[in-house]
């Protein structure tokens, strides 16, 4: 082999921050502080200096060593950003905890991760108090605020973030080491069984960040103002904290206030151009915009993912607010981005409805992710936009195994990761998810896509949320039950919903029953908890003739 004669410089996460701090130093990072709701602002240069102070805190008083897991239970703020960079940059591993999980599960996770220290926002003081005694590996709890706002706690005497930083030196030389070293740890939401850990490396994180910046993915640059509404505890806020540093963009962090009013204020006040989040967030914002008559005119681009983008939401934002909506698909195990739904030049002449049909697909493969759909026998299916199968992926930011074992069945013998999603690909690389493997409704030998059925139902004017679950049926094996959360002050009937659906889905997809629920159960990442619905409706008996 004739070797290339290029420098072998490691891809380090700290390099992203030093780039932003040195070359985009005055570009702002704006955060809504969880402890007061006040706005905090500083530049990437300040973020770099404070992250250096924090790295000194980690290596000094906190005695953090290479590879140690340091956990955070925190919102999107500048302090959480500093932790992202300082922990990984110093050679340790940042473990982001989803505070919406059950406290017992959180304690289990901290134990499984062998967390050495836990940083938390004041909002989560009661949670930390409740689990502290069960966290045997944790040496220190550090509250992410200053002396004046430190909470009174019963079982923990927390160290105070701002005190520690104030005493530390701002000078720090970021170490260089193997780019394959672990940098971040995020557990899957664990709706079935124990959560499993995805352990990201410096290399995977940097490569993912570069890809995320590209025009057809998030497409943010130094002029952009990006606001991740998706939390930093949900797969690294989809990589935005890293991508924003590569781009040198202004970063807006919404803290603990994710309601429509607070988000609209931030978007308007900070002239946000790019926003990312799960559909439930967009539903809340839309409701507020419609009630208040307020606008979000600075927004150019929205990336919605985590679950399927409802058509009604897409039409509302594009039609009423002039926002370009993109759907993305990915997973904790994929860092997370796998597909993003930008349109291609050849789509320019299409009608508005045809464009919407393309945007309702889960998106188009990003560079770096390879994908195939296979049938039950493992045969690769054609990319014809209709042959549905099990979606498998591989690439440099996709896990090759889970942290501390477990889940080996997720990997094929030839090196692909089984996503657990069912869907199809077309010749341009657009992927359509028809279901989670476990959510497909199997009826009389055919498959009904619960996602398509739900999306159709969500178009009904009185439906706020809808979930389709397969319930055992004596004749058909399974039939769909549609669970509906009506919009406030409406009372739709099962017949009106079935009549609405009858014009939009094949007749044999029509739900055998429609049940109404006041509040849809949502999981820790804002997705409908179908496992919970299956428990609630266990033993459901359809009326059969």
**Eight-class DSSP state of 133:** G
| CA pair distance 291, 282, nearest whole angstrom | 14
| 306 binds ligand AMP per the rule CB under 6 A | yes
Selected from 327, 335, 434, 443, the binder of ligand AMP by CB under 6 A is: 327
Residue 165 or 308: the one with the smaller Cβ distance to ligand AMP is: 308
| CA pair distance 47, 29, nearest whole angstrom | 8
Selected from 362, 388, 450, 455, the binder of ligand AMP by CB under 6 A is: 362
* 210-269 binders of ligand AMP (CB under 6 A): 235
| CA pair distance 465, 528, nearest whole angstrom | 9
| 98 binds ligand AMP per the rule CB under 6 A | no
Residue 19 or 100: the one with the smaller Cβ distance to ligand AMP is: 100
Residue 251 or 308: the one with the smaller Cβ distance to ligand AMP is: 308
CB-based contacts of 381: which residues, under 8 Å, 6+ apart? 372, 373, 374, 375, 387, 388, 389, 424
| 189 binds ligand AMP per the rule CB under 6 A | yes
| CA pair distance 49, 27, nearest whole angstrom | 14
Q: Which residues are catalytic?
A: 188, 333, 442, 447
Residue 316 beta carbon to ligand AMP: minimum distance, rounded to whole angstroms: 17
Residue 302 beta carbon to ligand AMP: minimum distance, rounded to whole angstroms: 13
Residue 454 beta carbon to ligand AMP: minimum distance, rounded to whole angstroms: 10
Residue 264: C-alpha distances to residues 229, 272, 287, 336, 399 (Å): 12, 10, 11, 26, 36
Rg (CA), the chain: 23
| 392 binds ligand AMP per the rule CB under 6 A | no
Selected from 76, 122, 332, 388, the binder of ligand AMP by CB under 6 A is: 332
Q: Mind giving me the DSSP string for 343-362?
A: PPGGGTTS-HHHHHHHHTS-
**Eight-class DSSP state of 73:** E
| 525 binds ligand AMP per the rule CB under 6 A | yes
CA max distance for the chain: 77
| CA pair distance 509, 447, nearest whole angstrom | 9
Residue 395 beta carbon to ligand AMP: minimum distance, rounded to whole angstroms: 15
**Interface stretch with ligand AMP, choices 202-210, 268-276, 303-311, 382-390 (CB under 6 A):** 303-311
Residue 12 or 393: the one with the smaller Cβ distance to ligand AMP is: 393
| CA pair distance 453, 463, nearest whole angstrom | 13
Beta bridge partners of 471: 479
Selected from 55, 331, 440, 483, the binder of ligand AMP by CB under 6 A is: 331
Residue 354 beta carbon to ligand AMP: minimum distance, rounded to whole angstroms: 20
Residue 298 beta carbon to ligand AMP: minimum distance, rounded to whole angstroms: 24
Hey, how many other C-beta atoms are within 10 angstroms of the C-beta on 257? 15
Peptide bond preceding 336: is omega within 30 degrees of 0, i.e. cis?
A: yes
Residue 68 or 421: the one with the smaller Cβ distance to ligand AMP is: 421
Residue 284 or 420: the one with the smaller Cβ distance to ligand AMP is: 420
Residue 228 or 336: the one with the smaller Cβ distance to ligand AMP is: 336
> Which of 335-345 are b and which e, b meaning 16 or more Cβ less than 10 Å from the residue's Cβ?
bbbbbbbbeee
| 336 binds ligand AMP per the rule CB under 6 A | yes
Residue 12 or 391: the one with the smaller Cβ distance to ligand AMP is: 391
* Strand pairing report for 301-304 and 370-374: unpaired
| 88 binds ligand AMP per the rule CB under 6 A | no
**Interface stretch with ligand AMP, choices 2-10, 32-40, 300-308, 403-411 (CB under 6 A):** 300-308
Residue 344 beta carbon to ligand AMP: minimum distance, rounded to whole angstroms: 18
CB-based contacts of 217: which residues, under 8 Å, 6+ apart? 211, 337, 340, 366
Closest residue to bound ligand AMP by CB: 332
Residue 309 beta carbon to ligand AMP: minimum distance, rounded to whole angstroms: 6
User: With the C-alpha atoms ordered 149, 153, 157, 161, is the resulting torsion angle positive or negative?
Assistant: negative
* 412-441 binders of ligand AMP (CB under 6 A): 419-421, 433, 436
State the DSSP H helix or E strand holding residue 197, giving kind and residue range, or none if neither.
Answer: strand 197-201
Selected from 188, 201, 204, 455, the binder of ligand AMP by CB under 6 A is: 188
Under the rule (CB under 6 A), what is the footprint of ligand AMP?
A: 188-189, 235, 305-308, 327, 329, 331-332, 336, 362, 419-421, 433, 436, 525
């Amino acid at each position: 082999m004739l070797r290339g004669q290029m420098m072998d410089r490691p891809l380090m996460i700290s390099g992203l921050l030093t780039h932003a701090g040195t070359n985009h130093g005055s570009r702002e990072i704006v955060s809504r502080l969880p402890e007061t709701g006040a706005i905090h602002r500083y530049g990437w240069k300040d973020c770099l200096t404070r992250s250096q102070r924090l790295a000194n805190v980690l290596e000094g008083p906190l005695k953090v060593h290479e590879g140690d897991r340091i956990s955070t239970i925190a919102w999107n703020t500048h302090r959480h950003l500093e932790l992202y960079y300082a922990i990984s940059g110093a050679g340790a591993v940042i473990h982001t905890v989803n505070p919406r999980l059950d406290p017992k599960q959180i304690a289990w996770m901290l134990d499984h991760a062998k967390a050495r220290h836990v940083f938390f926002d004041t909002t989560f003081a009661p949670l930390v108090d409740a689990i502290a005694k069960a966290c045997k590996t944790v040496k220190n709890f550090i509250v992410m605020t200053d002396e004046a706002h430190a909470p009174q706690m019963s079982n923990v005497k927390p160290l105070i973030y701002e005190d520690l930083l104030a005493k530390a030196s701002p000078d720090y030389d970021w170490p260089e080491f193997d780019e394959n070293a672990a940098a971040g740890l995020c557990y899957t939401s664990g709706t079935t069984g124990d959560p499993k850990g995805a352990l990201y490396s410096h290399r995977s994180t940097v490569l993912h960040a570069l890809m995320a910046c590209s025009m057809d993915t998030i497409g943010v640059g130094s002029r952009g103002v990006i606001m991740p509404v998706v939390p930093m505890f949900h797969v690294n806020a989809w990589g935005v904290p890293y991508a924003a540093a590569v781009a040198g963009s202004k970063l807006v962090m919404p803290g603990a206030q994710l309601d429509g009013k607070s988000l609209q204020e931030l978007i308007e006040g900070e002239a946000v151009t790019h926003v990312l989040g799960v559909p439930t967030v967009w539903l809340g914002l839309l409701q507020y915009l419609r009630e208040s008559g307020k606008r979000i005119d600075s927004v150019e681009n929205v990336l919605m993912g985590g679950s399927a983008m409802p058509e009604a939401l897409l039409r509302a934002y594009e039609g009423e607010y002039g926002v370009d909506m993109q759907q993305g698909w990915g997973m904790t195990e994929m860092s997370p981005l796998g597909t993003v739904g930008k349109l291609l030049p050849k789509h320019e002449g299409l009608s508005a409805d045809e464009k919407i049909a393309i945007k309702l697909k889960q998106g188009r493969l990003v560079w770096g992710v390879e994908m195939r759909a296979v049938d039950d026998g493992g045969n690769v299916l054609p990319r014809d936009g209709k042959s549905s199968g099990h979606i498998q992926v591989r690439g440099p930011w996709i896990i090759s195994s889970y942290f501390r074992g477990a889940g080996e069945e997720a990997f094929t013998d030839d090196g692909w990761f089984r996503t657990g999603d069912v869907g199809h690909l077309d010749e341009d690389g657009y992927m359509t998810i028809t279901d989670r493997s476990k959510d497909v409704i199997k009826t009389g030998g055919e498959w009904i896509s619960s996602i398509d059925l739900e999306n159709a139902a969500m178009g009904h004017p009185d439906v706020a949320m809808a979930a389709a679950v397969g319930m055992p049926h004596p004749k058909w094996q399974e039939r769909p039950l549609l669970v509906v959360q009506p919009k406030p002050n409406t009372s739709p009937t099962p017949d009106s919903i079935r009549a609405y659906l009858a014009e939009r889905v094949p007749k044999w997809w029509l739900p055998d029953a429609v049940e109404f629920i006041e509040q849809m159960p949502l999981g820790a990442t804002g997705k409908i908890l179908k496992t919970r619905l299956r428990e609630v409706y266990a033993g459901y008996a359809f009326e059969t003739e």
